[in-house]
Chains A and B, each alone.
Chain A
Amino acid sequence: MNRGVVYYILGRFLQSVMVLWIIVTLLFLLFRLAPSNPLASYIDINFTKQQEAALLARFGLDKPLGEQYLIYLLNLLKLDLGETFSYSGKSVMDILRADLPNTIYLTLSSLLLAYAVGVLGGIAMAALRGSAIERIGTTFTLMTRAAPQFWVGMLLLTFFAFQLKLLPSSGIAPAVVRYRWETEWDKLLSPVFWRHMILPTFTLALYLHGLPLLLMRSNMLEVLDQDYVTMSRLAGYSEWRVMIQTAARNAMLPVLTALTLGIGYSIGGNVVIEHVFSWPGLGRTLVRAVQQADYPLAQGAFFFIALIIVFMNFIADILYSLLDPRVGASAQAQVS
């Protein structure tokens, strides 16, 4: 790796940290300057003035805004996100630490399924260009991108969970089963957990497969026009080998970049699916926290989701620069 690339990565990293800092600051301002009292849901009307003051002091809300901001930044660096209002005795971090794996399992499994289907589907659509199957296939994909995810989830739930009674309708497992899990491994090795994951994964994948499919299809069509593909055709390789070994391998690089971006964005977009399937992840916690005016928890969940997105954007930029030398070169020019 040459020095230009290293500088580029370093510059991008610093930029991501800056972006995160600005987001965190906006978040602070948003929550502090909110029209309603942040403790409104906490304060009982029977509280005396002293009790209220004590409560404000406990959450550090009696200090000047600047000092609150500094404390907030320092705590974030220590990943200390404070106490929740609605779950007594638990810190925000406790709750999010339990949620994060569930969100990640759901996101990764649906992305994996979506990109596998998308890449293969894209190759097939490119190979079948102009045929009736291609028209039906692309129209179907367009429809899955236009249908609201939560609605597709509701339809699948009604059909598979309520009508056919084949699959569970919500959560990650019944409480009796959850109780027996002591570590993440117990959860991951439990067939019950995977059965609960089928419907939400499928719903998300149905939506997510559109981007890789359409990207792969247009990349394939572009690559199939290149000289080296024509050459391998002339060299007498089978159509199958031309499609898969020569064209698909080259067409796949941009799809991989899209995948890294996809991880970030689908974690942000999972909110709705997690709500439909009562999946105990970051998104559902965010929705509930906002509904219950549990500001520290809402702030924490938002921060976590933003952190993942910024990090994934950073990774995607790096991948992009490594795969496309032009970006690296221009970055080099910027740095020097």
Chain B
Amino acid sequence: MQQDAMAREGQSGKPTARFRQGSAIRQLWETNLEVFQRDKMALFGLLIFAVFALVAILAPQIAPNDPLNPLKNNNGDWIKDAMPYWLAEPGEDEAEGYTNTFLLGTTNIGRDIYSQLIHGSRSALLVGFSAAAAVAVIGTVIGLLAGYYGGWVDTILMRAADVAFGIPFIPFIIVISAFFDPSIWNVVIAMALLLWRDTGRVIRSQVLVIKEQAFVSAARVSGASDLRIIFVYIAPSILPLSFLYGSFAIAWAILTEASVSFLGFSDPETISWGYMLQDAFNSLALSREAFYWIVPPGLCIMLTVMAGFFIGRGYEEVLFPRLRRM
């Protein structure tokens, strides 16, 4: 919703982003460097992602148990609803015929919650980054084309954005999930289909400004083709803006994936934090006050989403210096 409001503001004469000149790669590198040098919070966000990425890559090595298979005690029964070892009554585990080594306890069918938490970072990052990349790429290309060509191209693309703004997001994903086999990719596809609207509108309005600048006319006079002007001359200047929207899109995608999994439209074979919370909710962990089951997945979602916010704000401050003093 914040993005929607921002897109609308972008539409009607908000401050123009600051642009750099020079070679495309150098511009991008300098902007990115400035974001993370200037803004300690953005750097912190990057660090959070780095840690979770490491956990995701090493998940099978770090996780003490299989996230899906129920653990069994000496009699071959499931170790249901074991408390974390630091909360459980001492001696209870031996009486039940197992050794309690579970940092966060077990679920109602005896799965290890801590191992699930570690494996959950995989779907969160996978969905977060691929959806953000899709949204940023589609939004950028549409914004570039609409802004540069104007006329009927612009009209059609921006009316399409109006339609996308009218489609309720979560309900749309739910309906999409109903028709395809449950998979984390449903969220990515649905986000790519709808959320380009914010990025597209903002980038379009920036392109309208840039295409009036001298270096663009110079390129045109020297005989550069439209596509060359768009992608070689204009695109590098607005790429930091795509990064900005991309960072917010990571946060959105992680939140959305969690919501959709929580509603029960995810693949039960893929562990995600939203799925863990759905599992806890449906097996009445709330009435058992099992905070050790409910709190950790939510905290992980919150941390990764905040990482996206921090990085996005870092870009905002560098691109829109007027915001900085606020």
Of B49-57, B92-100, B281-289, the stretch lying at the interface with chain A is: B281-289
B170 contacts A by Cβ under 8 Å: yes
A100 to chain B, nearest CB (A): 14
Of all chain A residues, which has the CB nearest B251? A146
In Å, the complex CA distance between A145 and B248 comes to 12
State whether A298 and B178 are in contact (beta carbons under 8 Å apart), knowing that A145-B2, A269-B169 are contacts in the complex.
yes
Q: Contact at A218–B5, with CB atoms within 8 Å?
A: no
* Contact present for A290 and B178 (CB under 8 Å): yes
Asked if B286 contacts A326 (CB within 8 A), the reply is: no
Known A-B contacts A146-B251, A271-B263, A283-B171; the reply to A320 vs B298 at CB < 8 A is no
List A contacts of B301 (CB < 8 A).
146-148, 151
**A158 with B291: in contact, given A146-B306, A147-B302, A271-B171 (CB under 8 Å)?**
yes
* Contact across chains for B166 and A142 when beta carbons are under 8 A apart: no
**Interface range for A:** 35 or more
Q: Give the residue name and chain of the B residue nearest to A311 (CB).
A: B166
Contact among A151, A221, A269, A327 with B326 in the assembled complex (CB-CB below 8 Å): A221
Beta-carbon contacts under 8 Å, A27-82 to B? 30, 34-36
Chain A contacts of B309 at CB under 8 A? 142, 145-146
Across the interface, do B166 and A35 meet the contact criterion of CB distance under 8 Å? no
Task: Choose among B2, B5, B166, B309 the residue with the greatest number of A CB atoms under 10 Å from its CB.
Answer: B166
Q: Is the CB of A147 within 8 A of B298?
A: yes
Given contacts A147-B302, A261-B5, A290-B175, contact A158 B323 (CB under 8 A): no
Q: Which of A215, A257, A287, A305 meets B168, CB within 8 Å?
A: A305
> Would you give the shortest CB distance from A211 to chain B, in whole angstroms?
6
- Is A262 interfacial (CB-CB < 8 Å)? yes
Decide: A146 near B5, CB < 8 A? Known: A155-B295, A306-B168: no
- How many Å lie between the Cα of A146 and that of B299 in the bound state? 10
**Bound: A59/B174 CA distance, A:** 24
| Minimal Cβ-Cβ distance residue in B for A126 | B326
Q: Does A245 contact B (CB under 8 A)?
A: no
Chain B positions 244 through 276: 1 when the CB is less than 8 Å from some CB of chain A, otherwise 0: 000000010001001100111100000000100
Confirm or deny: B235 has a beta carbon within 8 angstroms of a beta carbon on chain A: no
- Mark interface residues in A266-286 (1 if CB within 8 Å of B CB, else 0): 111101100110000001001
Q: Are B175 and A30 in contact (CB under 8 A)?
A: yes
For residue A149, which residues in chain B have a CB less than 8 angstroms away from its CB? 259
Most buried by B among A20, A161, A313: A313
B175 touches A298 (CB 8 A): yes
Shortest distance between the CB of A297 and any CB in chain B (Å): 12
State A6–B113 Cα separation when bound (angstroms).
60
Could you say which residues of chain A place their CB within 8 Å of the CB of B77?
none
| A330: nearest chain-B partner, CB-CB | B12
> Could you tell me if B262 and A309 are in contact, using CB atoms closer than 8 angstroms?
no
A298 to B171, CA, bound (A): 9
B1 neighbours in A (Cβ, 8 Å): 211, 261-262, 265-266, 269
Q: Does any Cβ of B come within 8 Å of A22's Cβ?
A: yes
- CB distance B12 to A19 under 8 Å? no
Take A23-B166, A211-B2, A305-B171 as given contacts and tell me if A143 and B306 are in contact as well, using a CB distance cutoff of 8 Å. yes
- Is the Cβ of B175 less than 8 Å from the Cβ of A148? no
In the complex, chain B residues 170-192 whose Cβ is within 8 Å of any chain A Cβ: 170-172, 174-175, 177-180
Query: Is B162 at the interface (CB under 8 A from chain A)?
Result: yes
Bound-state CA distance A142–B44 (Å) is 15
A143 touches B302 (CB 8 A): yes
Q: Are B298's CB and A19's CB within 8 A?
A: no
Q: Which has the most chain A C-beta neighbours within 10 Å: B1, B180, B291?
A: B1
Q: Which of B259, B287, B291 contacts A150 (CB 8 A)?
A: B259
Q: 10 A-B pairs, CB-CB below 8 angstroms?
A: A145-B309, A146-B301, A146-B305, A146-B306, A148-B298, A154-B294, A161-B286, A258-B5, A272-B259, A309-B167
| B-binding residues in A (CB < 8 A) | 15-16, 18-20, 22-23, 26, 30, 34-36, 142-143, 145-152, 154-155, 157-158, 161-163, 169, 210-211, 214-215, 217-218, 221-222, 254, 257-258, 261-262, 265-269, 271-272, 275-276, 283, 286-287, 290-291, 293, 298, 301-302, 305-306, 309-310, 313, 316, 320, 324, 326-327
A sample of 16 more A-B contacts (CB under 8 A), given A142-B309, A148-B255, A272-B170, is A18-B159, A146-B306, A147-B298, A162-B289, A169-B287, A214-B2, A215-B5, A221-B325, A272-B262, A272-B263, A275-B262, A287-B174, A287-B264, A302-B171, A316-B8, A324-B12
